[in-house]
């Protein structure tokens, strides 16, 4: 006995005007299917919510302006000790008589792992566990005051010297050029 292959629905609908979609106007363009791509998604829509949460985290909800987002890199105490040679190459670390001095501004120090060497770290923030572990090894973590608020506050902190702000070399060069131009104008007069 031979098995016969069942005809697909698509072939049966060929030649019919609407191909199973009802009225012709329903299947024109993107009207009947609700648009393309991310159309129909949003905070109050009930569709594609799991898809959005899985593949586009942060798509929904209120976002702070980029100027107000101050992001810190995180690093564990054990990773600091493993990467001491790299920090020395970057000129972030110095070996001194009392121990190793590290400048890790822009970092949050976390307390995962053990510390064997005396580390004297300057960081933006640090966890209590990290401070204790470094202190047990004979070192110290110096934390600068850090406020994660609006850029106005950050500018005030830079003026006070609490936060450091490095200007790009191009800006410094432009300032020097302006001074030279002023000197040339003064010489001409």
Straight-line distance from the first to the last Cα atom of the chain, in angstroms, rounded to the nearest whole number: 111
Token digits of residue 101: 């001095």
| CA distances, 21 to each of 6, 32, 52, 67 (Å) | 22, 9, 28, 50
Over residues 140-165, the mean pLDDT reads 61
179 Cβ contact partners less than 8 Å away, ≥ 6 residues apart:
none
User: If we measure between CA atoms, which residue out of 137, 138, 156, 136 comes closest to residue 146?
Assistant: 156
* Shared-domain flag, residues 79 and 139: yes
pLDDT digits (tens, 9 = 90+) for 122-144: 998 899 999 999 999 999 999 87
In sequence order, the β-bridge partners of residue 58 are none
Sorting pLDDT into bands at 50, 70 and 90, what band is 56?
confident
Residue 51 lies in a domain: no
pLDDT at 18 over 70: yes
- Same domain for 79 and 123, yes or no, is yes
Q: Is the pLDDT of residue 1 over 70?
A: no
Residue 156 domain boundaries = 152-188
Per-residue pLDDT at 118 exceeds 70: yes
Are both 129 and 161 inside the same structural domain? Answer: no
Residues with Cβ within 8 Å of 9's Cβ and at least 6 positions away in sequence, in order, are: 20
CATH number at residue 110: 3.100.10.10
For the segment 61-72, the average pLDDT, to the nearest whole number, is: 66
Instruction: Find, among 46, 49, 102, the residue nearest to 79 by Cα.
Output: 102
Q: Interior CA angle at 31 toward 29 and 34, to 5°? A: 120
Q: How many domains would you assign to the chain?
A: 2
168 assigned to some structural domain: yes
pLDDT at 72 over 70: yes
């Amino acid at each position: 006995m031979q098995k016969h292959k069942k005809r697909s629905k698509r072939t049966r609908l060929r030649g019919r005007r609407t191909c199973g979609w009802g009225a012709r106007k329903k299947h024109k363009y993107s009207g009947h299917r609700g648009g393309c791509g991310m159309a129909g998604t949003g905070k109050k829509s009930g569709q594609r919510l799991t898809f959005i949460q899985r593949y586009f985290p942060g798509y929904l909800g209120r976002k702070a302006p980029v100027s107000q987002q101050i992001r810190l890199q995180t690093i564990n105490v054990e990773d600091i000790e493993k990467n001491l040679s790299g920090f020395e190459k970057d000129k972030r670390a110095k070996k001194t008589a009392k121990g190793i001095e590290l400048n890790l501004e822009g970092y949050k120090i976390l307390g995962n792992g053990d510390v064997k060497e005396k580390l004297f770290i300057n960081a933006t923030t640090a966890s209590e566990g990290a401070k204790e572990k470094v202190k047990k090894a004979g070192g110290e973590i110096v934390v600068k005051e850090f406020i994660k608020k609006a850029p106005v506050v950050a500018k005030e902190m830079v003026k006070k010297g609490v936060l450091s702000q490095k200007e790009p070399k191009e800006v410094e060069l432009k300032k020097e050029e302006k001074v030279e131009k002023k000197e040339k104008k003064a010489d001409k007069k």
